[in-house]
A and B are shown apart, each in its own frame.
Chain A
Amino acid sequence: MARVELDGVGKRYPNGFEAVQAFSIDIQPGEFIVLVGPSGCGKSTTLRMVAGLESITTGELRIDGRRVNEAAPKARDVAMVFQSYALYPHMTAFENMAFGLKLQKVPKADIEQRVRKVAEQLAISDLLDRKPKAMSGGQRQRIAIGRAIVRAPKVFLFDEPLSNLDAKLRLQMRVELSKLHRSLGATSLYVTHDQVEAMTLADRIVLLKGGVVQQIGAPLELYDRPDNTFVATFIGSPAMNLLTGERTAAGVTGAGFQVAFQGAGQVGQPVVLGVRPEHLRPVEAGAAVFSGTVEVVEPMGSESFVYCRHGEQLLVVRTKDAPPSPGALMHLAPEPGRLHLFDGATQGRLG
C-alpha cells in the first residue's frame, strides 16, 4: 500500500497541446481513485504518467514520498491492467502471470506458489495452461488482473479494464473488482468513461474535462453537490435538468417558470437552475412550476423516465409511478431544498 501524490502534474506535447493541466491530488494508502471524463479529457494520459509510460512535463509525482518523475516504470513498482488486456499471446496464462516475477528473478517455487494462490483467488486455476486465444474476453481480463495482483505492486493502475466486455459481464466484473479491492486494500487508480463504474467503485472520483480537474470528491459528494454544470450533467443518468434564468428576490425566474429558492445568488444575476430527474414530482395544475406535454416515455421496469416538453426545454422526470402516456399534459414541481444553482456566466456552483 502506498501513498501517491500528484503535485501540479501536467502534460504538454511538443506541438503545444496541453493534455493535462496542473493536476493535484493526495491519494491515501489503500484508496480507490477513479478518473472519469469524456474522451480526450486527459484521464488516460494522467494514468500513463503515473505508470511511467508517458513523461511528466510539469509538477511532481511522488510515491510514498519519493519523487518518481524520472523513474522507469519498473522502478516505480506499479502494475497496470490494460483495456486490451495486453496478454502475451505466445505464453500460457501461467506464463503471462509469472513473467514479471521471472524478470525479478523470484525463485521458481515462489513464483509457482504465488501464481497458484492468485489464480485461486480469481477462480482462474483451471485456465492456467491455456493460451489467451483459447479464452473468452472475461477470462482474459481476469488473467490480466491476476498478472497485476501476483506482483503485489505498491499501486494498481486500471485503464478502462471493463470497456471491452459485454454489459452483463461488465457488471459482474465490476462487483468482483470492488470485492477484490476490499480484500487487497491496495492503492488503485482506475480510468473509465463510464460514470456508473466511477460511482460504484470509487472512494473518490476525479472528474476531468479538457485536461482540467472539474471536481474531486466522494461519489455522493459529486452527485449531491456538483461544483459546476459539467459535473452536474456528467454524473447521474439521466442527466440533471438545467434551466437558464435570473435570480429574483423570491427565487429564480426563467422562460415560462418561476420557482422559489432560498440562499445563494444576487438579485438580477443570470443563473442556471439544476434539478435532478428524481426531484421533479407530478403535482396538481395549481401547484405546477413546469407544465408540458409528454413526448417520450422510457420504461425501465422499476421506474420510468418521462421526457416532458416545457417550451424550448425537454425535462426528464424519473418516476416510480405508472408513467403517463405520450401526448398527455404533465404538471411538475421540484422538491423543495433539492435545487442546484449555478452562475450563468462561470457555470460554477452558487452556495
Chain B
Amino acid sequence: MSAHEHTDPRPPVRWATHALLIVFTVGTLFPVLWVIKMALRPSQDFATGLNPLPTEFSLQNFADIVGDPLFGRQLLNSTVVSGVTTLVGVFLACTAAYAFSRFRFPGRRAGLAAFLVTQMFPGTMMMIPLYQLMDWLGLLDRMLGLVLVYSTTAIPFCVFMLKGYFDTIPKDLEESALMDGASQFTIFWRIILPLSRPAIAVTALFSFMTAWNEYILAATFMSDERAYTLPVRLQAFVGDYTTEWGHFAAGALIVSAPVMALFFALQKHLVGGLTSGGVKG
C-alpha cells in the first residue's frame, strides 16, 4: 500500500490540468449551447455574438417542425429504418461473431480480414455503385433499401466488437454447459448472449446511431419527400440562398433526442463486469 500511495500532483500541475480540461469542455459545449440558443430564438438568422446562453425563449421553431404535415411520416421512416437496422445488424453480428470466436473453419481468417478491409473505404466511394444496385433492385425510395445498406455498413464493426467480447468469455463456461447437456444453440442463447449484454448494448447503440444519423446515402436514394429520413429533412432547411437556422437548430435537437434517450437507457449495460465471479481470477 505505502509504496503505491496516491499523492496529489503539485498545485501548478493540477491547475494546468484543470485549465486544459476547462478549455476542452467549453470547446465541446459551446456549439451545443449555440444550437440550443438558435432553436429557442423566433428568428431564422444565424446567432452571432459570444454569449452561448439563450436570451429568448420561444418554442415556435419546434412547433413549426412538429406541425409540418410530413414530419410524422419522416419520423416514422427514421424510426423504422433505424430500428430494423439495429435488430438485423445485432442479430447477424451476434451469430457471425460467435462463429468467428468459437469455431475453426476454412476461410475464417480471410473472412475476418475481408470485414476489416470493407471498413477502410470511405462511404462516399460506395455511393454510385450502391445507387445502381438499389436501382436494379427497385429499392430506391424504399425503406428496405436503406435498412440493407445500413446493416451491411454496421455489421463488420459489430462483428469485431462482439468477437472481441466473446473471446473473453472463458471456454470453461461453455464446456461446463456442454457437460450439463446443453446444445450449441442453448449455450449461445442461454450462456453467451446473457453474458454479453454490455457488448450487445454497445453494438445496438452503434447500429442505431449509424442508421439514425446517416445523411448522404439517404439523401441519394430517397428523392420522394415522403420517403425522407429526418437528417435529409433537416438538410432541406439549409438552402442555397437562405437558411432557416432556427428550424434547423430545433430540428437538430429533436433528431438527437432519441439517441440521447437510448444512450441513457443503455447506460447501465455499457458498464462491464457482468462476467466477474463465474470463474476464478
Q: What CA separation (Å) do A88 and B176 show in the bound complex?
A: 9
User: How far is the CB of B280 from the nearest CB of chain A, in Å?
Assistant: 5
A89: B residues at CB distance < 8 A: 173, 195, 274-278
The residue of chain A having its C-beta at the shortest distance from the C-beta of B186 within the complex is: A103
Task: Verify A85–B180 contact, CB threshold 8 A.
Answer: no
Instruction: Kindly identify which residue among A85, A90, A134 contacts B195, using a CB–CB cutoff of 8 Å.
Output: A90
Asked if A164 is an interface residue, CB under 8 A from chain B, the answer is yes
What 0/1 readout, one digit per residue, does chain A (129-149) give for beta carbons within 8 Å of chain B? Answer: 001111101001000000100
Q: What CA separation (Å) do A135 and B279 show in the bound complex?
A: 11
Task: Verify B279–A84 contact, CB threshold 8 A.
Answer: yes
Task: Verify A86–B277 contact, CB threshold 8 A.
Answer: no
Q: What CA separation (Å) do A307 and B68 show in the bound complex?
A: 95
Task: Verify A100–B175 contact, CB threshold 8 A.
Answer: no
281-301 of chain A: CB within 8 A of chain B: none
The residue of chain B having its C-beta at the shortest distance from the C-beta of A78 within the complex is: B179
B240: A residues at CB distance < 8 A: none
Q: What CA separation (Å) do A99 and B183 show in the bound complex?
A: 13
Q: Across the A-B interface, how many residue pairs have beta carbons closer than 8 Å?
A: 82
A74: B residues at CB distance < 8 A: 178-182
Task: Verify B279–A103 contact, CB threshold 8 A.
Answer: no
B224: A residues at CB distance < 8 A: none
Q: What CA separation (Å) do A70 and B214 show in the bound complex?
A: 52
B274: A residues at CB distance < 8 A: 89-90
Most B C-beta atoms less than 10 A away, residue of A83, A86, A132, A137: A86
Asked if B191 is an interface residue, CB under 8 A from chain A, the answer is yes
A271: B residues at CB distance < 8 A: none
B281: A residues at CB distance < 8 A: 84
Task: Verify B182–A103 contact, CB threshold 8 A.
Answer: yes
B279: A residues at CB distance < 8 A: 82, 84-87
Given contacts A74-B178, A103-B181, A103-B186, contact A82 B276 (CB under 8 A): no
Task: Verify A84–B280 contact, CB threshold 8 A.
Answer: yes
Asked if A80 is an interface residue, CB under 8 A from chain B, the answer is yes
The residue of chain B having its C-beta at the shortest distance from the C-beta of A82 within the complex is: B172
Asked if B170 is an interface residue, CB under 8 A from chain A, the answer is yes
Task: Verify B277–A131 contact, CB threshold 8 A.
Answer: yes
A51: B residues at CB distance < 8 A: 179
Q: Count residues of chain B with CB under 8 A from any CB of chain A.
A: 23
Asked if A273 is an interface residue, CB under 8 A from chain B, the answer is no
Task: Verify A100–B277 contact, CB threshold 8 A.
Answer: no
Q: What CA separation (Å) do A104 and B181 show in the bound complex?
A: 8
Task: Verify B177–A84 contact, CB threshold 8 A.
Answer: no
What 0/1 readout, one digit per residue, does chain B (178-201) give for beta carbons within 8 Å of chain A? Answer: 111110001000010011000000
Given contacts A86-B175, A88-B173, contact A100 B276 (CB under 8 A): no
Task: Verify B180–A82 contact, CB threshold 8 A.
Answer: no
Task: Verify B179–A137 contact, CB threshold 8 A.
Answer: no
Asked if A318 is an interface residue, CB under 8 A from chain B, the answer is no
The residue of chain B having its C-beta at the shortest distance from the C-beta of A147 within the complex is: B180
Most A C-beta atoms less than 10 A away, residue of B175, B177, B281: B175
Chain A positions within 8 Å of B, measured between CB atoms, are: 51-53, 73-74, 78-80, 82-90, 99-100, 103-104, 131-135, 137, 140, 147, 151, 164
The 4 A-B pairs at the shortest CB distance, nearest first, are namely A133-B277, A89-B278, A100-B180, A74-B181
A-B CB contact pairs (8 Å), 24 listed = A52-B178, A74-B180, A74-B182, A79-B179, A80-B175, A82-B172, A82-B175, A82-B279, A84-B172, A85-B278, A86-B172, A86-B176, A88-B173, A88-B278, A89-B195, A89-B277, A89-B278, A100-B181, A103-B180, A103-B182, A103-B186, A133-B278, A134-B277, A135-B277
Known: A99-B177, A104-B181, A164-B280. 8 other contacts (CB 8 A): A53-B178, A53-B179, A74-B180, A82-B176, A83-B280, A84-B281, A87-B176, A140-B280
